[in-house]
């Protein structure tokens, strides 16, 4: 089964509002609340526990930047 988020066209689309070395983010098409964003790793993982240590600080960074964008 292919992953829609690992598609380079998706990762480079105009819908992506934030990026860093390991992560990209966009607003969800079906938001469950105002400002609902998806933060997605460039490296495919099935579970959060598969993330590498070096991906975690950039995750917090893009989360903080997403929070600023939403505000």
Distance, CA of 39 to chain centre: 2
* Number of chain positions touching Zn ion (CB under 5 A): 4
Residues 30-59 that bind Zn ion (CB under 5 A): 44
Cα–Cα distance, 30 to 43 (Å, whole number): 24
Instruction: Tell the residue number behind the tokens 């903080």, with chain if given.
Output: 64
Which of 6/56 has CB closer to Zn ion?
6
Among 5, 10, 27, 42, binds Zn ion (CB under 5 A): 5
Which of 2/33 has CB closer to Zn ion?
2
- 10 touches Zn ion by CB under 5 A: no
Question: For residue 3, what are its two tokens?
Answer: 């992953």
Are residues 43 and 53 in contact, defined by beta-carbon separation less than 8 angstroms?
no
Q: Which positions touch Zn ion (CB under 5 A)? A: 3, 5-6, 44
């Amino acid at each position: 089964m292919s992953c829609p988020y690992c598609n380079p066209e998706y990762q480079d689309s105009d819908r992506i509002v934030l990026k860093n070395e390991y992560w990209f983010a966009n607003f969800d098409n079906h938001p469950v609340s105002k400002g609902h964003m998806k933060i997605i790793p460039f490296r495919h993982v099935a579970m959060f526990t598969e993330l590498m240590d070096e991906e975690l600080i950039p995750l917090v960074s893009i989360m903080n930047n997403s929070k600023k964008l939403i505000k």
